[in-house]
Homo-oligomer: A and B are copies of this chain.
Amino acid sequence: MRVISKSGEYGLRALLHMASNQENEGFFNIREMSEELDISFHFLTKILQVLTQKGILQSYRGPNGGVGFLKSPEEITLSELVRALEGDDFFDKCLLGLPGCGERQPCPMHAYWMGIRNNLKSEFETTSLADLGKNTRLQHLRLIA
Contact = CB atoms under 8 A, between A and B. Distances in A.
A134 interface: yes
Contact of A105 (B102, B120, B135): B135
A3 B4 contact: no
Interface in A47-102: 78, 86, 90-91, 93, 95-100, 102
A108 B124 CA distance: 11
Given A98-B140, A140-B98, A120 B116 contact: yes
A143 B99 CA distance: 6
A136 B107 contact: yes
Greatest chain B CB density within 10 A among A4, A12, A98, A123 is at A98
Interface of A: 1-6, 8-9, 12-13, 78, 86, 90-91, 93, 95-100, 102, 105-109, 112, 116, 119-120, 123, 127, 131-137, 139-144
